[in-house]
Structure 1
């Protein structure tokens, strides 16, 4: 009897445990949540997060390195080329976090491709384009970084190896090629379901319009050209079995196969919504003094615009004592200059600060390509289109004499190649205003525009070639970190990344 009783008790206990386990599973399941995120739910939040991060880091880091802004505080020294390792952590974390979402957009869409013909391909392409964009920001900032094993924490890969930048770029180009192919021939696609009542935040026309797909395709290919130009000094095959220069030539010669931006209206701009959500400006909560009162615009920035009579100066810079006045970047220790012009406070809520890549930048890429003989065409034609588009991008009218009698801006056929490159890069510099780290990246590539070096500048007077790897990466992924450093060189600001060597 006792044995039977024990058996009965055991059976009851097993049943109770199973019932409890089932109950706990039910309790842990949120009936109002989806089990797996859909691509359309990831797109806008992830895109906005990257753009928001890019704007604030441009404000804090790029604009000092590139001599847009100079702090009037001895403790803020990036304009003197002093960038500490702990300044890398928030940038690295923000980019890698959203890179996971862009990879998921692609993978989720690809998993449903057979079941949703015509619906998945756009999200696969968009995921690739945004992943390529974010990855380029990461690798251009640090060089060799985790890539093939990155973003796999759910697979318990917590110490990914660092891929060589050359291989990362090859895969970036593969993804942009695939994106172009996926979007070719698509006439319509519903990027958002009806019950979500929201649109693609970047190219948000009607939910079933083909226009947004055409513009996404042009964005992807324009980005492709930006990145091909960045590695154009390398002579090894990098895209489609071709060198970067060969691929640039093939793309520009094939506008039907590789459509690119053709007007300002097609630019990739996540237009911010000021103080209002959902695309609230990252500066909406800043006091005016926090945004524009901590320093002044640089002499190079202000004087170059003023000498050219550039209409953008009035909407970017304030006057001091009734005139525009910049201050020295890289001033000596203990020699803080008098306050000069600063940002116009209206820029805090400016929708155009959400610029990712615009039509004017593309024209300057083509102008450089034509100047160097990579493509057919007159570089002056592309340059003039770029200058006009850059001014009109800001809702302004280009002065009538800007491209003819204005010696600071007008193209001179008799100028040397170096002088022509300076013209292109000066105008490209202003086109890239507040566009993540692009001014810094382009200066590293071309050493233009020619920036004056202040007496207080450190790092041997050389523009930093990269940032330090984040402190958390150095400690939590030490083995992979040390391997990358041994391959690249010292983990310092002077080590050139692959495309600079």
Structure 2
């Protein structure tokens, strides 16, 4: 019995040591400097960095080519010849919905913790992504999207007009939610976009002021896009926005613009890890180069490299959509613009001023179109660290000539490396006039949208078919409600 008793006691002793050791190991494996539970601040920086980096990459691989800014030198079957693949929008769809799921979690936690600034930021980011989705595809899931936790695995598609209506409502809600006397308590070192800090008692948070301006500037972009869409009352909403800058503050400088700084230090690395890939088998286009040369624009050496032809060193662009490979050297894009430190554009101040210039040119607002045009161009130049040359606007090709065409050609350059915005603006206005090269096959034209991902036909067929019926089809040339 004594032996049995000793054995039992020994077993309990070993078990006790084991449990104690596990508890000790749990303590050792707990980082006291890190929060053990998620909070809205945990989601913010990953969304900002990853979506902005993805958007930069999509400009480089898609918009840059489609909008005739760059020409491939080893292939005539690409986007510059208006060849679109059915899967061209698949990555945008999957990437955006993945990060929208994180934004949803951020917004819900902000509500539970009574953190209005995080809730407002979530609404801004959500609106930003849905605006690009609806303008890239048309009808998309919104109301029932990312609700797998509620067993909604095959979400219905919302109509375009309902999506725009919701976006505008969300941005209004965000504008009212922002509390400029508070910062972002779960990001004590400041979030990535505006480095928002908690202000001293009685002070104003500069970061939250900028976030609020981003919300209203984004709303202005959306209202311009749907300016002629019935049922959204865009003109009245624009007047309300413009006429009350206290209630609806907008970007007023490049310092306030939504430009995400990337240091190049891990984990904030540049989107392109190999700068040499930026210039491999590529040349800038005549269209892109020649305007900047004609304007004597200081952005030219920032964007392009000189090359030599017949003993002359200068900037030479290749023809877009060529039929026969050109026999001269074309200027390569400048690798410097893909190297960190750099800034990734969500929305620029220049865009806001170009919007105002267009609204004034159309007599929708009463301010001076020429003044807004000049501010916009100056902001677009200085955003890249260049200085506006004296006499820049004395040039007959750069001064404001009362035309929408003049606004849109400069806006084209202002939207350089800003996701799909050049493409969207072209499909809204037909400007600037795009060159169609001799090698572009008859029937190949500028696409108006992406096709829906093929996975929808396997995973959400019924709702895909309803969306297709509502849209009138699922092809690249299908007009969206805001397109001419």
Contact 1:318 1:342 in 2 (8 A): yes
**Aligned CA distance change for structure 1 residues 476 and 331 (closer, same or farther; 3 Å):** farther
- Does the residue aligned with 2:41 lie in a helix, a strand or coil? helix
Note the residue ranges of structure 1 that are not aligned, 5 or more in a row: 1-22, 114-119, 414-419
For 1:487, which of 470, 473, 478 is the aligned residue?
470
The alpha-carbon deviation at position 485 of structure 1 amounts to: 1.0
Q: Report the secondary structure of 1:146's partner residue.
A: coil
Report the Cα offset of residue 408 of structure 1: 1.0
**Equivalent residue number for residue 483 of structure 2:** 500
User: Is the aligned partner of 1:190 residue 2:188?
Assistant: no
User: Deviation of residue 34 (structure 1)?
Assistant: 6.5
Q: Name the structure 1 match of 2:228.
A: 233
Is contact 2:213-2:249 (8 Å) kept?
yes
Deviation at 1:473, TM superposition (A): 2.0
How far did 1:187 drift? Answer: 3.5
Q: Aligned residue for 1:310?
A: 297
Compute the RMSD of aligned alpha carbons: 2.0
Normalising by structure 1, we get a TM-score of 0.85
Cα pair 1:82 1:458 within 8 Å, conserved: no
| Structure 1 residues 347 and 323: alpha-carbon distance in aligned structure 2, compared to 1, 3 A threshold | same
- Select the residue among 340, 348, 359 that pairs with 2:338: 348
Quickly say closer, same or farther: Cα 1:368–1:350, change in 2 above 3 A. farther
Is the 8 Å Cα contact of residues 301 and 326 (structure 1) preserved in structure 2? Answer: yes
Distance (Å, rounded) in 1 between the aligned partners of 2:286 and 2:302: 17
Equivalent residue, structure 2, for 1:286: 274
Gaps of 5+ in 2: 1-21
- Tell me if the contact between 1:69 and 1:295 (Cα under 8 Å) persists in the aligned partners: yes
Residue 89 of structure 1 pairs with residue 90 of structure 2: yes
Aligned residue pairs: how many?
448
CA offsets 1:216-260 (integer angstroms, 9 cap, x no match)? 000100010011001101132x2xxxx111111111011111011
Task: Write the deviation string for residues 32-86 of structure 1: whole angstroms up to 9, x where unpaired.
Answer: 7967521101000011111011000110001111111111132651111111122
Deviations 1:315-363 (A, max 9, x none): 100111011111111223x646654112111111154440111111100
Deviation string, structure 1 residues 118-173 (Cα, Å, up to 9, x no partner): xx110111000000001111111111111111111222222111111110000000
Matched, 1:323 2:324: no
Runs of 4+ in 1 over 6 A off after TM superposition: 30-35
SS at match of 1:355: strand
Query: Structure 1 residues 235 and 57, CA, compared in 2 at 3 Å: closer, same or farther?
Result: same
Q: Could you list the per-position Cα deviations for residues 439-471 of structure 1 after superposition, in whole angstroms to 9, with x for gaps in the alignment?
A: 000000011011111123347243100011112
Aligned residue number for residue 259 of structure 1: 249
Question: Does the 8 Å CA contact 1:272/1:349 hold for their aligned counterparts?
Answer: no
CA positional deviation for 1:207 = 3.7
Task: String of CA shifts for 1:359-392, please: whole Å, max 9, x gaps.
Answer: 1110000000011111111100110111111111
Q: Does 1:127 align with 2:122?
A: yes
Task: Confirm or deny: 8 A CA contact 1:353 1:434 kept in the other structure.
Answer: no
> 1:468-479, aligned counterparts within 5 Å?
468-479=451-462
Task: State the distance in 2 between where 1:439 and 1:337 align.
Answer: 30
Cross-structure match for 2:8: none
What is the alpha-carbon distance in structure 2 between the residues aligned to residue 326 and residue 252 of structure 1?
40
